[in-house]
Structure formats: structure tokens, C-alpha cells
Amino acid sequence: MRHAQGPLLSIDLSDHTTVEADVTDVLASFVGGRGVGTKLTHDRVPFDADPLGEENRLYLTTGPLQYSGMSFTGRMNATAVSPLTDGLLSSNAGGFLSRNFTATGYGAVELVGESDDLVALHVTDEGVEFEPVPDLAGATVSETVAYAEETRDLGADHTACIGPAGENTVRFASIMTSESRAFGRGGLGAVLGAKNVKLLTFDGDSTPTVEIPSVQADVHREAATADHIMKRQGTTSVTDLGNEVSALPTRYFSELQFEGVEGINGDRIEEKKYKKGTCSACAFACKLPTRDDESGLETEGPEFETVMAFGSNCAVDDVVSVMRSNELCDELGMDTISCGDTVAAYLASEDAFGDSERIHETVEKIAYREGVGDLLAEGVARCHDELGVENWSVKGLEFPGHDGRTLQGQGLSFAVANRGADHMYATFYAVEYPLVDKDQAMAPAGLDAKPRRLIDRENHHAVLDSGVVCKFSRGFVTDERLAELLGASFDDLMAVGSRVVDLERHFNNQRGFDRADDALPYDLPGFDAALDDYYEARGWTASGTVPDARVGGSGDAAPADD
């Protein structure tokens, strides 16, 4: 089985030292990316670690397909204990960093402890330089990226950083890379902020040599020549469909359709798109550099989930307003889904839906924890009582679009996903809209036969996240091609995916997560029976816990030795 190559580089922020460790066995067993990050977290982070404490560790990882020139592989992974969900969480980002990361020659990078002072870490194939950067305190993402270019001659494609939100440990702060791409979900930017790390750069000339099968050329050619609506509208191409089938959250989840959808849909985004945008080595080019000529505003996006969170869920029908919200989140370093939903909760409490000026002011207040922003920076699960609104989250993670009250298999997916309410954990919505071939589609209503189909998709996505392969490769990287690319049978790969999901769940179980956390803020017919079926098929207990024997552990606190 092809897998990521190179040692684990452990960076101790407490004493500014580094050490390398051979993790070949982990790489060989878990491929790379999310799989490796999950295994290392499970084995090296104490089960009771404070997400914002020095015992938490953050892992950056890529996979073997980052050694290729294939489309859909300009991605990498970050893993840590989440300040938002309080569980093990991996977040996946596109852009251009992954190949500069692999050029350092490391298979994974681990951040340990906390720095006393704000620092930048410069990682190369010759080691690590610790640079005190007190002058970057409070700097925006673009200011931080400009600093790296001015002082190191390294562009945005070499950087990962946090904005003010990460420094202020906003629980949904992002790690930003390539300036406008985000390790968005789960607040891993707050983990960097708690460790006093403002900026990381990666550079080198030591990319491992791994022979990738020639099928990569077929994938790349098809990606380049395909006539696909995502090349024009990105993920916003699904906006009208979501609204049509009543799966577009509106006015803080109180409605499922938005009467102003035509002001924020894919057509409006396409009108604002002014050039092609892509990730490293990808010919599919589905990203969305947008510009409003009247105001001069430029941003990357917004994608569908941002359109939902800051558009329909806030009752905003002006695409330029949504673009502004998107740009603020990118500059300040926050997840647009969690931030938008939290702002929507605040608007609901103030009866202020549609107030764009207040929305933009509130986004800034959150990043700096000013006024009401200090409360909202905790996220919906922690602030909803004080606001007097419902808790629209699962395991502390705010909901994306593709509403599970209509797309009910997606609802089940939101409930059981180890990350919480995350649409990318299994992308079950694609089966129910449907966005897949008719013979692969399922009716959106009901849960019959869906738990086992969901398990297959979760396992498959865990493999993609370990590869690391973009989820939008659907139809290009088929099961057969994925098996050929990774040099293993598809069944063996699915077994790897299953182990990744087991390890995530087992770690979270040790932190107190069980069946009670696999819950939704709405009722679905047959939900309890579907949970039983899901747990049984996974080999878990009826209480939603993983038997220790499945992960080869005792359930005792994991060691944190180096």
C-alpha cells in the first residue's frame, strides 16, 4: 500500500527544540493525512487533554498522492483535540501548501507544548527555525502572509497561519493557508493560538520519490476536459437545488427555503467570478475568485456553505454582503459556517435578520472578543442559552446546509459523525439530492437501509482524507482507480477507513462521548432504530462506544511520550 514517507518531526514549543521519530509503521498502516493524524493523536495525546492546554498536540500531515501531479490532490490535513467539539477532529484544506510541506521530507509534523512568546516556525529540510514575532500580534492573515514574503521570500503557498481570531482563541478559529484557504472546521486555529504560534512556513527540496501509477494522467486529463458546472460556480451550483427541495437552512434554521435565494445563488456568484481559481496541480479549477467592481471588494468565494450561513440563515439576499462576510472571516481567520451560524443565532435573538451592517460588525467583534463577540466566540452550543435560542449543533459543531430534516440520511450522518454536524464526513447529501447516478441514489425521506450505506461512505471518505484526495473527485477517482493509485485492494482500503473512524470514536469515548452525543435538534422517524443498526454494523456497543479490543487498547489514558 502506498503511503506518506518520512519521519515525524516533533516541535516542542515549550523549550524550542525538535526531535525526529521513525513512524514508518503508522504511515504504512494508515496511508497518510487524516489516518496518520488520527493514529498519532490517539496514541500520543492524553485522553483528558485540555484542547487549549499544552498537552494537546496538533498534527499536520499529507498523503502519498501529494507526491504526484494529479488533479484533486492539492490538499493536506490538520488534526488535534478540538476546542469547539472537545473531541478528536481532523480538518482538511486545499490550496498550495501541501507540496511545499512534502518538500521538507517529513511524513508528519507535530506541535507540542506552548511557547511563552508569539512565534513563527520555519520548517525546511534542514530543520526548524523559531522566530519571535511580537510585531505580528493582532495581524490579519494577509498581513501575516505579507510578512513571510517580505522577510523570507516565501509566498502564500508556503504558509499556514492564524489571524486575530486564533490568537484570541475563538473556538471556531481557522488555520489559514495559501492566504484564503482554511483548515476551517473545529477551531484548530485556536489550538495554534493557545500554543502562541502565529505562522508556519514550509520549504525544501526533499520531496520523497514514490512511483504513482499512470492512471493519474487519465484523472488529470479528464479533470481538465470535463464540462462541469462547478468550474463556473463551485459548490454554489447546488444552492437553487437545496432551496427547491427544502434543504436550505433559513433564518437560523427556522425555515427550509429562502425567498431571496436568487440574490445569492450560483448565478450571482458566477457573475462576480473574474478569473479561474484552483488548488495545487489541479486542472478541475473549481475555486471562486470573485470581485465586486462597484465596491472594489475581492475575495475567494463564497462557497455554498458560506452562502447558506451568511446568506439564507441570516436572511441576507445580497451576494456582495455575503462576499464581505466571507472576506472578513478569511482575513480574521474563522470558519465561515460556524461563524455565520453563530451570527444568525445572535440575529434571531435580536430580531435583526437581514441587517448586513450588524453582521459585519459582529464578525469583527467575535474575532477580537469585543462586547457580545466574547460570548459568540464560544460558539452556538455554549452561547445559545444566554441568547435564548435553540442549540443548532451536534457535538458542539454548527450545522452546514443540506438540511437533515429533508435529506434524512444526511441528518443521520450529522448525528453520528465523530466531527459533529459536518457535511463532508460522508457527503450523504449527494446520494439524496441526488448528485450521483440514479442507480446509486436513495430517496431523501426515511432511514431504511441508510446506516450501512452511510458506513461505507464514511470509510471511503476516511481513505480519501488519508490519500489525500479532494471529495470533488467523485466520478474521476473511481473505486478502482483509488485502489490502483494507493496500491491496495479497495476492500483493504475500506478496512483502513474503518479503523480511522474507530480510533476517532474510541478517543472521544474516553473523553465521555457516547450515544447521547449522537443527537439532533429535531426528530427523524426511525432514528433510534437506525442508530442501533449503525452501531451494530460498526461493531460498537449499543451505547455508541468502541470496544477496546477493536483498537488494540485498554481504554487507559494514552501516553504522551516522545
pLDDT tens-digit map of 304-335? 999 999 999 999 999 999 999 999 999 999 99
Selected from 1.10.10.10, 1.10.540.10, 1.20.1070.10, 1.10.599.10, the CATH number assigned to the domain covering 408-551 reads 1.10.599.10
Peptide bond into 468 cis (omega under 30): yes
Same fold yes or no, 227-398 and 408-551: no
With respect to CATH, is domain 8-203 assigned 3.30.70.940? no
The predicted-structure confidence for 160-201, as pLDDT tens digits, reads as follows: 999 999 999 999 999 999 999 999 999 999 999 999 999 999
CB 330 within 8 A of CB 138: no
**Whole-number Cα distances in Å, 440 to 428, 430, 460, 493:** 11, 10, 15, 21
Asked whether 463 and 422 are in contact (CB, 8 A), the reply is: no
How many CA atoms, within 13 angstroms, populate the side-chain half-sphere of residue 184? 25
In terms of DSSP H, where are the helices of 153-200?
A: 164-167, 188-194
pLDDT at 477 (0 to 100): 98
Cross-strand partners of 59: 79, 110
| pLDDT computed for residue 552 by the predictor | 83
Cis before 64? omega within 30 = no
Summarised one tens digit per residue, pLDDT across range 21-48 is 999 999 999 999 999 999 999 999 999 9
Q: What is the mean pLDDT of residues 508-514?
A: 98
What is the number of other CB atoms lying within 10 angstroms of the CB of residue 547? 14
Collapsing DSSP to helix, strand or coil, 201 comes out as strand
Q: What is the pLDDT of residue 558?
A: 42
Closest CA to 137 of 225, 190, 197: 197
Burial 155-169 (b: 16+ CB within 10 A, else e): bbbbbbbbbbbbbbb
Question: Which residues pair with residue 10 across a beta bridge?
Answer: 19, 110
List, for residues 80-128, the tens digit of each pLDDT value. 999 999 999 999 999 999 999 999 999 999 999 999 999 999 999 999 9
State the average pLDDT over residues 373-387.
98
Report the candidate in 176, 446, 184 with the shortest Cα–Cα distance to residue 331: 176
> Where do we find the cell 523559531?
130
> Most distant CA pair in the chain: distance in Å?
62
Predicted confidence (pLDDT) per residue in 125-161, tens digit? 999 999 999 999 999 999 999 999 999 999 999 999 9
pLDDT value at 270 more than 60: yes
List pLDDT tens digits, range 220-260: 999 999 999 999 999 999 999 999 999 999 999 999 999 99
The CA-atom distances, in angstroms, between 449 and each of 158, 460, 491, 549 are 45, 18, 20, 27
Domain limits, the chain:
8-203, 227-398, 408-551
Helix residue ranges per DSSP H, 256-389: 266-272, 304-310, 319-332, 336-350, 356-368, 372-376, 380-387
Q: Look at residues 278, 314, 265, 275 and name the one whose alpha carbon lies nearest to residue 298.
A: 275
Q: Quote the percentage of the chain above a pLDDT of 90.
A: 98
Give the pLDDT score at 557. Answer: 40
Residue range 227-398 in CATH 1.10.569.10: yes
Instruction: State residue 91's pLDDT score.
Output: 98
- Parallel, antiparallel, or unpaired: how do β-strands 76-81 and 58-61 relate? antiparallel
Find the DSSP H helices in 131-237.
141-152, 164-167, 188-194, 215-225, 230-233
With a cut of 90, say whether residue 266 has pLDDT above it. yes
Peptide bond into 134 cis (omega under 30): no
Residue 553 pLDDT: 57
Average per-residue pLDDT for the chain: 97
Q: Is 373 in a helix, a strand, or coil?
A: helix
Q: Is the dihedral of CA 123, 129, 132, 133 positive or negative?
A: negative
Query: What mean pLDDT do residues 436-459 have?
Result: 97
Q: Give the least confident one: 68-82, 287-301, 417-431, 542-556.
A: 542-556
Cell numbers linked to 81: 483535540
E strands within 288-430?
A: 289-292, 297-300, 393-394, 397-398
E strand spans, 374-516: 393-394, 397-398
